Chain A
Amino acid sequence: MSTVPFIEVENLYFSRGDSEIFRGVNMTIPRGKVTAIMGPSGTGKTTLLKLIGGQLTPDKGRVLIDGDDVHRLSRKALFALRKRMGMLFQSGALFSDLDVYENVAFPLRVHTDLPDAMIRDLVLLKLQAVGLRGARHLTPAELSGGMARRVALARAVALDPELILYDEPFVGQDPISMGVLVQLIKRLNQALNLTSVVVSHDIKETLTIADYLYFISEGHVVAHGTPADLDANQDARVKQFIHGEPDGPVPFHYPASAFYPDMLGDTVIQGDAK
């Protein structure tokens, strides 16, 4: 196995409107490992995945996937690169006009010329892997959230990609499907020798599957290392997050004027003051 990193993020700057989301993010994501990107909500973790997937273009800096600068590729080359990656969306993002079987078959049908019998075998294998071979005739509307995410996972691996990007795979799952997803991500990564990038703020689950973690806050990588490294990290921002403390560097209160005068009606709210 090559030791060259699969993804390199170099000095990435990105802003949306007036708010700067990333101010110089650097990351290297090794091949064949599970790398997690963690951080409080609103730090742009999903945005980072979209930058890696080439859906958004950074203001400065670059993203290299297997040596190719994602944002300098032609549209055609970018779509070819995307065949080599799968992405699991927070909502599952299954196509609502297709049933489970056709959803998983979709990437195969558009990117290969395989005969129907072969597609059927492949689809059923992928569905078997996520335990939903029996649900092939259901429509996305009939699936629970956890099942939808598993179908989406089967679809994401349909073309045997080299890289999978997981966007908040554990959000809104009950403990059982959470456990199922943790298992699946781990097993798929080993069985298919994938490179996985998991964006999440579920600490317990993420720490169990990740080989390496990056912690993002305020537009920078503030800490990175193995789960043990991060657990022992003394940075206040990391500590607050890992231990789930309600107040700390990330304040409990949204910025506001002083409390007592505000309650007594003596002052205008900060946002209104000119």
Chain B
Amino acid sequence: MTIKQGAVASRITRLGRRGCDLIESLGRAGVFLAQSAVGVPSAEGIRLWIRQLHFVGVLSLAIVLVSGLFIGMVLALQGYTILIDFGAEDALGQMVALSLLRELAPVVAALLFAGRAGSALTAEIGLMKATEQLTSMEMIGVDPLRRVVAPRFWAGVVALPILTVGFSVVGIWGGYLVGVEWLGVFEGSYWSNMQASVGFINDIGNGMIKSVVFAVVVTWIAVFQGYDLMPTSEGISRATTRTVVYSSLAVLGLDFILTAVMFGGL
């Protein structure tokens, strides 16, 4: 084999190995999810879950609501300048509500959640691993998957859809502030057009389904990255970055697929 052929072959080998590593880690992540998330919680488990709900949910409220407000306001501003050209500014409420409920609230809330709560979950679990807390828990005879991972996973799965609802509500209100209070769209048409066009199942329901899917994926990535990382300071920083990157890509990619299935007539 010439040197060039050798280099090509080794590159192909590397690619293959990467593929195998990827499939293997997907398998590990799947087993990990099954072992930690499935099962009947104890009273203690519920107490831990409520505590985590506070950490990942309540403490993420501020960033999610403020972002929702601004996004609603920007939507109304941009929508108004386009709709006014067609004399259709009465449809502003409909536009703001549909964009938020179908797309922006689930996606943006999930991205913010990945940055705010997901990275914190990864770092926390990772640090527990690095300081042998998970091992010592195992040696005490308590399964860290049930005790540490499960409450955090379920807290994330419950918190994100609720945050998404808050995001939508505040966003619609932000649109109202800009559209009606500032730009002078007629208040009656803002709300009644919204009421007439937003379907409960088709828009709100589909948006919520998206949000639940994102919640599962983002929290799963976060807890798995924390549990699976190399227990060093470098490993923790890398895993935290990976959580945010993988979560964002997964959310945006899944959003396209879900949108295609829900609204694209597939």
Establish whether residues B141 and A93, one from each chain, have CB atoms under 8 Å apart when the complex forms: no
Q: Does B78 count as interface, using CB distance less than 8 angstroms?
A: no
What are 25 A-B interface contacts by the 8 Å CB criterion? A50-B135, A53-B139, A55-B135, A55-B139, A75-B143, A79-B141, A79-B142, A79-B143, A80-B141, A82-B138, A85-B139, A86-B139, A87-B139, A89-B132, A90-B132, A93-B132, A93-B133, A93-B135, A95-B133, A96-B131, A106-B140, A107-B140, A107-B141, A110-B142, A155-B140
Q: Does B83 count as interface, using CB distance less than 8 angstroms?
A: no
Give the shortest distance, in Å, between B144 (CB) and chain A (any CB): 11
Give the shortest distance, in Å, between A110 (CB) and chain B (any CB): 5
Q: Does A83 count as interface, using CB distance less than 8 angstroms?
A: yes
Interface size, A (range): 20 to 34
Which residues 64-121 in A have Cβ within 8 Å of B in the complex? 75, 79-80, 82-83, 85-87, 89-91, 93-96, 106-107, 109-111
Chain A residue nearest in CB terms to B35 = A75
Which residues 96-148 in A have Cβ within 8 Å of B in the complex? 96, 106-107, 109-111
Residue of B135, B136, B143 with highest tally of chain A CB at under 10 A: B136
Establish whether residues B141 and A91, one from each chain, have CB atoms under 8 Å apart when the complex forms: no
Interface size, B (range): 10 to 19
Establish whether residues B143 and A89, one from each chain, have CB atoms under 8 Å apart when the complex forms: no
Give the shortest distance, in Å, between A269 (CB) and chain B (any CB): 21
Give the shortest distance, in Å, between B46 (CB) and chain A (any CB): 15
Establish whether residues B142 and A96, one from each chain, have CB atoms under 8 Å apart when the complex forms: no
A87 to B132, CA, bound (A): 11
Where the two chains meet, the residues of A that have a C-beta atom closer than 8 Å to any C-beta of B are 50, 53, 55, 75, 79-80, 82-83, 85-87, 89-91, 93-96, 106-107, 109-111, 152, 155
Q: Does B258 count as interface, using CB distance less than 8 angstroms?
A: no
Partner of A96, one of B133, B139, B140, B143: B133
Partner of B141, one of A50, A82, A94, A95: A82
Which residues 138-168 in B have Cβ within 8 Å of A in the complex? 138-143
A55 to B139, CA, bound (A): 8
Establish whether residues A91 and B135, one from each chain, have CB atoms under 8 Å apart when the complex forms: no
Establish whether residues A55 and B132, one from each chain, have CB atoms under 8 Å apart when the complex forms: no
Q: Does B209 count as interface, using CB distance less than 8 angstroms?
A: no
